[in-house]
Amino acid sequence: MNVAGEVVVITGGASGIGRGTALALARRGADIVLADVNDRRLAAVEAEIAGMGRRVVAVHCDVSRDDDVQQLAERAESNLGPVGLLMNNAGVVLRGALEHVDLADWQWCFGINVFGVIRGINAFLPRMLERRHGYIVNTGSVAGMVALTGEGAPYIASKFAVVGLTEALALYCQPFGVSVSLLCPGGVRTNLAETGRSIGMSPERQVAETRMAQSVQGGPELEAEYVGELVAQAVRNETFLILPDDVHAELLRRRGRDLNAFVKSRLAAQ
Ligand SMILES: NC(=O)c1ccc[n+]([C@@H]2O[C@H](COP(=O)([O-])OP(=O)(O)OC[C@H]3O[C@@H](n4cnc5c(N)ncnc54)[C@H](O)[C@@H]3O)[C@@H](O)[C@H]2O)c1
C-alpha cells in the first residue's frame, strides 16, 4: 500500500514501536490517529507529527474497553476521513510464578494483547471490507512463535493468539482487497517494562528470567524507529511477516523443523 494520503490509526502510538511506526508513515505522507492511555506521551508524539506537516489526532483510548475502541473508529473517521490502515500495537507484558498468577491477571493481559486486537478488528474491519480497501498490521512478538521462558507464559500465550489470529485474518481479508501484516520483534528499546507486571517473582528471579528470555531471542536490541521503518517498508511491499532480525528467523526454522526435539533441547539446557 502506498500510504501517502491514507489515514492511519495506531494503538499504543504514544511510545516505542507505535511511535516509531507513526513517524515512519507520517514521513511517507500518511495522516495519523494516535491511540493510547498515556496522555503525556500522546501529546508529545502528536506535536512531533504536527511538526512534520501531517494531520494528526491524539485519542485517549484504552484498548481493553469496547466503547473506547468503537469511539476511536468514529473519531478517526469524523476527524480525518476513512481509515486506510490500522495498526493494533498496544501491548503489555505479564509474567510470573504461574501458581501465583490469578485469573484477573491473565484477563488483564489477554484483555489488552488479544481482545485489544479483536476490538480493533471489530471496529475497523467492516468499513475496510465495505470499501474493498485497507490494511491491518498486528504487533505480535517472537514470543508469539517460541516460548522464551516458563514465567513468560501469560505474555507468550497472548502473543501466540495474536500470531494465529493474524495469519487467519490475512487469509480472510485477501479476497476483499484488504492486506495484513504481522510484526514479530525480538528485543526493541522501548518503555514496555514500565507497564509490565511480574507476579510472585523475587527481584533476582526477574533479572534471571529477563536474561533467559534475551538469550533465547538472541540478536541485538533494536531502536523503535528502525522497527517503524521496517513496518513502513513491509506495508509498501505488502509483506506478511515482519521479523526484524535473522536470529529469530533461524530460531523459528529450528522450532518448525522438529518441535519435540526443539523443546527437549531447551529443557536439557535449563
Ligand atoms: N519492546 C520489545 O522488545 C517488544 C518485543 C516484541 C513485541 N513487542 C510488542 O510491541 C508492542 C508495542 O510495545 P513497545 O515495546 O513499543 O512498548 P511501549 O510501552 O513503549 O509502547 C506501548 C504503548 O502501548 C500503550 N498501552 C498499554 N496498554 C494500553 C491500553 N490498554 N490501551 C491503549 N494503549 C495501551 C502504552 O501506554 C504505550 O504507550 C506491544 O504489543 C509489545 O508486546 C515489543
CA 131 / ligand 1 centre spacing (Å): 29
Cell of residue 58, nine digits: 491524539
Q: What atom of ligand 1 comes closest to residue 195's alpha carbon?
A: 19
**Predicted local distance difference test score (pLDDT) of residue 214:** 86
**Predicted local distance difference test score (pLDDT) of residue 245:** 80
Q: What atom of ligand 1 comes closest to residue 65's alpha carbon?
A: 31
Cell of residue 84, nine digits: 486506510
> Which amino acid would we find at residue 112?
I
Chain length of the chain: 270
Cell of residue 190, nine digits: 522501548
**Predicted local distance difference test score (pLDDT) of residue 51:** 98
CA-to-CA distance for 151 and 118, rounded, in angstroms?
25
Q: Of 14, 7, 119, 125, nearest to 69 (Cα)?
A: 119
**Predicted local distance difference test score (pLDDT) of residue 250:** 86
Within 8 A by CB and 6+ apart from 96, the residues are 105, 151, 154, 197, 198, 199, 200, 201
Q: pTM, whole model, 2 decimals?
A: 0.97
**Predicted local distance difference test score (pLDDT) of residue 90:** 98
CA-to-CA distance for 85 and 6, rounded, in angstroms?
7
Which listed residue (135, 155, 172, 226) is catalytic? 155
**Predicted local distance difference test score (pLDDT) of residue 142:** 94
Packing angle of the helix pair 103-113, 115-131 (nearest 10 deg): 20
DSSP alpha helix (H) spans, 139-223:
153-173, 192-195, 203-217
**Predicted local distance difference test score (pLDDT) of residue 47:** 98
What's the CA angle centered on 236, arms 76 and 80, to 5 degrees? Answer: 15
**Predicted local distance difference test score (pLDDT) of residue 56:** 98
CA 121 / ligand 1 centre spacing (Å): 18
Cell of residue 29, nine digits: 505522507
Residue to mutate, 108, 112, 194, 195, ligand 1, most ligand atoms under 8 Å from C-beta: 195
Buried b (16+ CB within 10 A) or exposed e, 212-245: bbeebbebeebebbebbbbbbebbeeeeebbbbb
Q: How many CA atoms lie within 13 A of 176 on its CB side?
A: 20
Q: Does domain 7-268 have CATH number 3.20.20.150?
A: no
Residue nearest to atom 7 of ligand 1 (CA): 141
Q: Which helix (H) or strand (E) holds 40?
A: helix 39-50
Q: Is 37 in the pocket of ligand 1 (CB under 6 A)?
A: yes
Q: Of 258, 255, 246, nearest to 219 (Cα)?
A: 246
**What residue segments make up the domains of the chain, in order of their start?**
7-268
Compute how many other C-beta atoms are within 10 angstroms of the C-beta atom of residue 78: 9
Cell of residue 269, nine digits: 539446557
Q: Taking the chain (270 residues) in consecutive chunks of 10 residues, what is each chunk's mean pLDDT?
A: 98 98 98 98 98 98 98 98 98 98 98 98 98 98 95 98 98 98 96 97 94 82 96 98 87 92 91
Which DSSP string corresponds to 122-159? Answer: HHHHHHHHHHT-EEEEEE--GGGTS---STTHHHHHHH
